[in-house]
Structure 1
């Protein structure tokens, strides 16, 4: 029986960012699942937990112009699963949620644009 790859949930409103991140995750030995906003991320996270195929981690865009961003969604995921690994991602490196990410409920931070090496370093805890 083939071993399942650890799944990583990517929440980003930009389709290209989601697609490229999923490709990078595949190269690193993970399976990426892309959603566009926090509500979708919460639903997808809950669905996979119920099915017994939980995500190893979540990478959430801090803010989504037309929907719920990571700042709001992280608390709902942590309330559902207090051991969830939720990483915040943003191009705004001096945003309070990026600087003091633990105070907002995040497990770690990855600045945008990120590359294969920074993604690999971030996800070492999931391998």
Structure 2
């Protein structure tokens, strides 16, 4: 799988280990050792994915994440020792696609990277007959031709994961989805019961598409079961 990855990691031993392993897997890896260097490098060339440590000098990982999300939907995987629920929520809330806590295995890291790149490739090269459709649910309009969502005629800015979750519901309006099903479908990985990732993405998605996020109408919670699309 040929792809170019920006690795943002200030710890030399970890950076070298990740770079060497991913390059052996066939990836091109560019290593930035602080946030300011990462911003400069990202502006100089295109990347297919970013591996981001949060605790980096000069410009924090969170600040770097916010800057990138203002201009790009490139997949971003956080790799950090800051693995508390708050840090996960902050990282995913600012637009990260996944979170891997240190210490991690290189096999797991490589699998997460490949899964993220597969998802991007699938949505970018979906068959034209699928992409040409427009799905309307009440005030929401999902354009599968260019993968955009609008509400009342105004585009809603979603991260790639948020868009994939919403697409899953809007293309299956009668179906109930468990958290396990959502994770396995959207993340394309086995589900090990980490509900925080689903909860954070669902909360952020509701903040963007619901009139009253605390009383959602589009994505309903079925307590103890999962979620389904609301009926209007």
Gaps of 5+ in 1: 49-53
Give runs of ≥4 in structure 1 deviating > 6 Å.
Answer: none
Picking from 71, 74, 84, the partner of 2:65 is 74
What is the RMSD of the two structures over their aligned residues, measured on CA atoms?
Answer: 1.8
Separation in structure 1 between the aligned mates of residue 8 and residue 67 of structure 2, nearest angstrom: 14
Cα deviation code 1:21-48 (max 9, x no counterpart): 1111112221111111111111111100
Counterpart residue number, 1:61: 53
How many aligned positions are there? 117
Picking from 24, 27, 33, the partner of 1:36 is 33
Q: Which has the higher contact order (CA 8 A, sep 6+)?
A: 1
TM-score, with length taken from structure 1? 0.82
The answer on 1:13 being equivalent to 2:3 is no
55-64 or 110-119, which deviates more: 110-119
Counterpart residue number, 1:97: 87
Secondary structure of the structure 2 residue equivalent to 1:41: helix
Larger Rg: 2
* Residue 95 (structure 1) shift: 5.2
Gaps of 5+ in 2: 119-232
TM-score, with length taken from structure 2? 0.47
Separation in structure 1 between the aligned mates of residue 86 and residue 111 of structure 2, nearest angstrom: 22
